[in-house]
Homo-oligomer: A and B are copies of this chain.
Amino acid sequence: MKKTSLKDIADQLGVSKTTVSWVINNKGDEKKISRETQEKIFELADRLNYKPNQLARGLSLGKTNSIGLVVSDISNVFYAKIAKVVETAAEKHGYNIMYCSSDENPDKEQRLIQMLKDRQVDGLIISPSKVDSSQILQLKKENYPFVLIDRYFPRIDTNYVTVDNEMGSEDLIRHLIGQGSRRIGFISVSSHLGVIKKRFAGYKNALKKEGIKFDNKVVREVDYNDVEGTIATAIRELIHPPYKVDALYFATNYLTVAGIKTLNKLQIRIPMDVAVVGFDDLDFFDITYPPITAVAQPIEEIAEKALEILIDEIENREATTPKRKVVLPTQLRVRRSCGHVNI
């Protein structure tokens, strides 16, 4: 028992496919199809449980009402939440989402974007992992609607929605210094990424403004593909002489989690032995031991804004209006890990 198609309905009623198509798409009145015929069509469509084939529809219309979302890791809470908000918001506009994880792998990202284009998504939301922005330039050249989130390329004119990483980072570190820290280790991954650079810049700004000399020796980069292992090494080095940092700043949420785990394992007490702060807040940072001070990103806003811009671009393609660049403020969440505070 195969699925019913327009043709089945048309044949059974002795009308043409066109008529059925019009009626089903509620253009019956506009196209002056008689009430009687319309009713017959609706009735039969209902009875046969007719559902339009969206592939055929998409092929014919050149529009699929679907959007691709490419992030580095959908199982990272930050992106999972973005995904959820985007999905919910998209549904309201009649769009569906296809998500993919690039695993910070530029080749995979390339393939995913191509795959989504092959499937004719109407637009893309991308958190690019690439240093090299060739595929973004390509999308731009093709005039394919897309919005970057979280990460973007300052030299390329594209839509993007991000947060003020530099300022957020600076606030965080100045607060940390205010709590008494003087030697602050900086631990990151993928330091080639713009956002990480900004966070690093904010860290340096803070040191400067607070009159602390920047020391490149306490800056470490761990390997995305072996966070657990490399972060342990980095931390062990930093907390011992000759570096002996009195605070650690983790540049992403998963680094913070991995860092705390390592510190626990090494029996380093937080914040007594070493204070800890992280960029990007997580739901459970207030029930960890100790609760972790972090900079929070406005996830909902990022996701909603990105989708809004994208849909606007998809639906009003006319003029290539100036690309929209949105930078949202972050929020400092002070908890116990950064030093002696009453919370």
Which residues of A does B touch, CB under 8 Å?
A: 1, 51-56, 58-59, 64, 66, 73-77, 80-81, 83-84, 87-88, 96-101, 114-115, 117-120, 142, 257, 260-261, 264, 282-284, 286-291
Instruction: Name A103's closest neighbour in chain B (CB-CB).
Output: B88
Give the residues in chain B near A98, CB-CB below 8 Å: 96-98
Give the residues in chain B near A81, CB-CB below 8 Å: 75
Choose from B1, B53, B101, B120 the contact partner of A53 (Cβ within 8 Å). Answer: B120
- Per assembly, the copies of the chain total 2
In the complex, are the beta carbons of B58 and A84 less than 8 A apart?
Answer: no
Report the Cα distance A97→B84, complex, angstroms.
15
Q: Within the complex, what minimum Cβ distance (angstroms) separates A7 from chain B?
A: 14
In the complex, are the beta carbons of B118 and A53 less than 8 A apart?
Answer: yes
Give the residues in chain B near A291, CB-CB below 8 Å: 289
In the complex, are the beta carbons of B75 and A120 less than 8 A apart?
Answer: no
Pairs A–B under 8 Å by Cβ, sample size 16: A51-B114, A51-B117, A54-B119, A55-B55, A55-B59, A55-B64, A74-B84, A75-B80, A83-B99, A84-B101, A87-B99, A88-B101, A96-B98, A96-B119, A260-B287, A287-B289
In the complex, are the beta carbons of B51 and A118 less than 8 A apart?
Answer: yes
Give the residues in chain B near A264, CB-CB below 8 Å: 286-287
